[in-house]
Amino acid sequence: MMLSKTETTISMPERHTMRAMDLVGACKAFVNVSERGSFTLGAAAARIPQPVASRRIAALERHLGARLFDRSTRRATLTQFGRDMLPSARRLVRLAEEMEHDAERAALRPLRLAVPDTCATRDLALLGAEAREEGIHLDFRSAAPAARTELLGAREVRAALAGVPPGEAAWTVPLGLAGAGEPRAGAVYLETLRLPRDRSSSRGRRVWLQPEDDVPHVRDPLNRLRDAVGLRPGQVVLAASLASAAAEVLGSEDLLLCSPRQAEDLGLYWRPTGEVRLARGYEVAAETGDEAERLRALLGRAIARCLGAPAGESRGEPSGREPLGRPDPGQEPA
């Protein structure tokens, strides 16, 4: 079939391959101009200047090899070739718009993050607000250390604040012993909790661990210290929750292993342990290394606040056992 003068084929040397983004933009201009019968009105509908619309349609014509519009009339009239190509252009534009819409929804899809159940609601809210400023929508799942690892492994969350040894951590939280009695200076030596022989039938004062500290790098050194200084196995106890552990401590002379921040929130008096230094360590674990690095880089300070890490604490190394030692002669009992 012969093409009319207004449907002249573009000679092969002038044809060129358009980039995908250029092709979509040119098709948007083509569709809008054709629907409005005007380059000026079509360009306005496409939200581009009229000269840009003209250049894009001309490039599309070179790419396809024939004229889309009849240039012999004032009105933007489609050639037969243009009428044949319009349905395909509309489909491409519609698909591009659907893709942009899907991209917007994907960007707004919450990133589910498993966090320690020791994080305060306000701190999590501040972390969430700061994340939104970075274009990240967080959805929190509070859980104990082992449960956080399981949630990530089952892909029920995309990232988790995992408990790790302090030497491998991005954030560390010092641990000590807190009680409800009168405030005292200096460290707490576990040896002072040992029962004398004439009180062998007594239960003795206990040290309560919360689920967040039921991890090898905290639990095992404490149990070794318990055995080394002669405490009974029942004097170091794992509680079902922080609330139940705090209840035991508030109503007795028992002690709670916790962070300074937790002690302050509970109205307890905190002191470091004397024979060994203990700390929680945290690192971001995620489905991909890039995602973990992004959370660490953009939200590091807000995450530290949630964990109760000291200001500016990062990659600290407060772990490692110190030599066991007896309390100083002048050291007050715990």
Domain edges within the chain: 23-107, 110-167+283-302, 168-192+205-281
Q: List beta partners, residue 160.
A: 114, 285
**Tokens 């698909």 appear where?**
95
110-167+283-302 CATH: 3.40.190.10
> Alpha helix locations (H) across 74-144?
80-108, 121-133
- The pLDDT confidence band at residue 253, using thresholds 50, 70 and 90, is very high
List, in sequence order, every beta strand (DSSP E) within the chain.
Answer: 69-70, 77-78, 111-116, 138-143, 159-163, 171-179, 207-209, 236-238, 255-258, 269-272, 278-286
Closest CA to 143 of 241, 11, 55, 50: 241
Stretch 57-74: mean pLDDT: 90
**Tokens 């095992």 appear where?**
220
Say what the pLDDT of residue 110 is.
87
pLDDT surpasses 50 at 324: no
Q: What is the pLDDT of residues 84-96, one digit of tens each?
A: 999 999 999 999 8
- Give phi and psi for 140, each to the nearest 5: -95, 140
Stretch 150-176: mean pLDDT: 96
pLDDT surpasses 50 at 264: yes
Q: Mean pLDDT for the chain?
A: 86
Q: What is the largest CA-CA distance in the chain?
A: 115
168-192+205-281: same fold as 110-167+283-302? yes
Say what the pLDDT of residue 17 is.
59
CATH 1.10.10.10 fits 23-107, yes or no: yes
Q: List beta partners, residue 270.
A: 178
DSSP state of 124: H
CB 60 within 8 A of CB 36: no
Sequence-ordered list of residues with C-beta below 8 angstroms from that of 277, at least 6 positions apart, any chain: 174, 318, 319, 320, 321, 322
Stretch 177-201: mean pLDDT: 85
pLDDT surpasses 80 at 35: yes
Structure tokens of 296? Answer: 């660490």
CB 184 within 8 A of CB 269: yes
Indicate the class that CATH gives domain 168-192+205-281: alpha beta
DSSP state of 220: H
Closest CA to 157 of 118, 117, 111: 111
DSSP state of 9: B
How many helices, marked H, and strands, marked E, lie in the chain? Answer: 10, 11
% the chain with pLDDT above 90: 72
To the nearest 10 degrees (0 to 180), the angle between helices 50-64 and 39-46 is 100
pLDDT surpasses 80 at 176: yes
